[in-house]
Amino acid sequence: DVVDVRGLTKHGFFTYDPGFVSTAACESKITYIDGDNGVLLHRGYPIEQLADKSDYLETCYLLLNGELPSPEEKTEFVDIITHHTMVKESMSRFFRGFNYNAHPMSMMCGAVGALASFYHDAIDIHNPEHRAISAHRLIAKMPTLAAMCYKHYLGQPFMYPNNKLGYAENFLHMMFGTPCDDPEVSPVLAKAMDKIFLLHADHEQNASTSTVRLAGSSGANPFACIASGITALWGPSHGGANEAVLDMLNEIGSVDQIDKYVAKAKDKDDPFRLMGFGHRVYKNFDPRAKVMKETCAEVLEELGINDPLLAVAKRLEEIALEDPYFVEKKLYPNVDFYSGIIMKAIGIPTEMFTVIFATGRTVGWIAHWNEMLSGELKIGRPRQLYTGHPKRDYPG
């Protein structure tokens, strides 16, 4: 035992690293990031190539299994996911208990955790087959639950998944379709949606993935673990940033207001930050932001939308890339910077943005959870530096 300056005993030594800036909590074979050079690889494949040549479900297979699927394996995987898209009918009663204007992320935290109550048959975390079924169920049901959040908010009937449609297409159908209409989803929008899911699929040990691993390290069930990831994602410093970016762009409103906001962001006494800029790991362009920017331009052109917010976003990016404050601190646009403009063009309300991030990220969370459980399981238990009172006696 070591006695520290406050006279307290501590067992052995440990590092003090607030924010885990330089502490690796695990080994992983899933995703590699080189933040200085703006490189992101999933199982070795660059994100730009996956965004260009692959699709979301194929990337899910890659993240879960370590290799790209053969055509037969891909067909089988897509069939399995499609088979699991429905949720139990009683989930709709569960949703009706939420206030109509509840934030969709609050509904997702509850709804995804509640999935555990339906799947006692396959919840043994030590059984690889059970883990695989849970992974498939979660990936398949997230879009259904996400669309239910939106329908509940609108007061419209919930839409059942239509399993003739592709993954992203089905999601847009459940979001914007009604039981009165035939499914009709623009292929351009479905492709853009698929790319948004793909670009969010995994990002190694970020706050939400680390939360999933920590929750999973105690042996908690996968639905509870993914619900914990959703809660961690919600904050504006993480997944909540995409909603905050659009709010910020709306507040700036026009290019001539940008200087005022840049000055606010640089003012140490002002808590305002340029949302969508900066990253703990990337000290260069976030490669996902580059793809997102291109997709954004394609979608707006295809839809014939001339969104003034795009002009604000582009100018803001130019200024930030030239301004010494942002250059010195290496604050580049991150994945959230352009995704909001695309989602707005698709017709998705801002409150749903982080839900969509959570939907895409589910595969990453579950791949990390599965990787952790496939190895030697050790409960995560960070230490602390106690700075409170030394031992004292209760008065009297």
376-to-27, 126, 217, 371, 373 alpha-carbon distances in Å? 11, 11, 10, 10, 7
Token pair of 357 as six digits: 């991030």
Name, in order, each residue with C-beta under 8 angstroms of 361's C-beta and a sequence gap of 6 or more. Answer: 200, 201, 202, 203, 208, 209, 229, 233, 239
Phi-psi region of 338 (alpha: psi -120 to 50; beta: other; left: phi over 0): alpha
Instruction: Assess 274 for contact with ligand ACO (CB under 6 A).
Output: yes
Instruction: Assess 334 for contact with ligand ACO (CB under 6 A).
Output: yes
Q: Among residues 47 and 331, whose Cβ is nearest to ligand ACO?
A: 331
Task: Give the CB-side neighbour count of residue 125, counting CA atoms within 13 A.
Answer: 22
Q: Among residues 169 and 243, whose Cβ is nearest to ligand ACO?
A: 243
Instruction: Assess 335 for contact with ligand ACO (CB under 6 A).
Output: yes
Instruction: Assess 276 for contact with ligand ACO (CB under 6 A).
Output: yes
Residue pointed to by tokens 């970020």: 206
| Min separation Cβ 331 and ligand ACO, Å | 5
Closest by Cα among 138, 152, 141 to 107: 152
| Min separation Cβ 333 and ligand ACO, Å | 9
Among positions 279, 290, 344, 368, the unique one binding ligand ACO when judged by CB under 6 A: 279
Q: Among residues 80 and 274, whose Cβ is nearest to ligand ACO?
A: 274
> Using CB under 6 A as the criterion, what x/- string covers residues 253-272 for binding ligand ACO?
------------x-------
Closest by Cα among 361, 355, 305, 313 to 334: 313
Instruction: Assess 23 for contact with ligand ACO (CB under 6 A).
Output: no
Binding residues for ligand ACO restricted to 187-246, rule: CB under 6 A: 237-239, 241
SS3 26: coil
Binding residues for ligand ACO restricted to 280-309, rule: CB under 6 A: 280
Q: Among residues 5 and 21, whose Cβ is nearest to ligand ACO?
A: 21
Positions touching ligand ACO (CB under 6 A) are: 19, 237-239, 241, 265, 273-280, 329, 331, 334-336
